[in-house]
A and B are shown apart, each in its own frame.
Chain A
Amino acid sequence: ELKVEQNPLFLSMQEGKNYTIYCNYSTTSDRLYWYRQDPGKSLESLFVLLSNGAVKQEGRLMASLDTKARLSTLHITAAVHDLSATYFCAVVETGANNLFFGTGTRLTVIP
């Protein structure tokens, strides 16, 4: 069974700082997703990464994928309070259709 691990589980950072969230997975995959969830809310899609070396950026968030290392990163640049949320990565194993989520990283940005 595909295992997805995120690090760290909890992250508290000051506004203006940079940080990276890591997502490791255990088998080959050709699709990786990043989602954001605000407290009490549903999930919002951030990025879809499909190939080795893929990099996508939206505002202060940048996601990348290294399929050889089975690693994706979500980099936060100059954090602002509005980025406080829980971030999930989710992976589909190559040739399969079911989605496996990481346990999430709860990010708190302190003013």
Chain B
Amino acid sequence: EAQVTQNPRYLITVTGKKLTVTCSQNMNHEYMSWYRQDPGLGLRQIYYSMNVEVTDKGDVPEGYKVSRKEKRNFPLILESPSPNQTSLYFCASSPRTGSRYEQYFGPGTRLTVT
């Protein structure tokens, strides 16, 4: 089944403890992206990647890191999480950029930083 998977789905952590949220897609998509969703703010893009080893900042990259060493994986890294990073995170992928293709979203990861 074609899908985008994220792990973990739920995570409660403490300030300053490094964490990684994994994202994997099995559709051979070139484009992958991370978003955070907060009440009243909609979704905001954190980082995106147009292909392996090609990443770029989105709207709200501060406090986050990403890497794209393999086409299927695009992990989101929080080196020193803070409470303002408590949010619902979505990973998404798309066959191409600059095209008619929509993005396919993962199920979401709900992160709480205390």
Contacts and interface: CB of A to CB of B under 8 A. Distances in A.
Given A98-B45, A98-B59, A103 B108 contact: no
B contact residues, range: 20 to 34
Task: Tell me what chain A mostly uses at the interface: helix, strand, loop, or mixed.
Answer: strand
A99 B100 contact: no
Given A42-B90, A103-B42, A98 B102 contact: no
The contact size tier of chain A is: 20 to 34
B102 A97 contact: no
Contacts, number: 55
Interface string A2-28: 001000000000000000000000000
A101 B38 CA distance: 12
Given A97-B98, A100-B45, A45 B59 contact: no
A33 B101 CA distance: 10
B90 A99 contact: no
Contacts of B105: 35, 42-44
**Shortest 9 CB-CB distances between A and B: which pairs?**
A45-B102, A103-B42, A101-B43, A101-B42, A43-B105, A42-B105, A98-B58, A97-B97, A48-B102
Given A45-B103, A48-B100, 14 more contacts: A1-B59, A31-B100, A42-B90, A42-B108, A48-B102, A88-B42, A90-B43, A97-B56, A98-B48, A98-B59, A99-B45, A99-B103, A101-B43, A104-B42
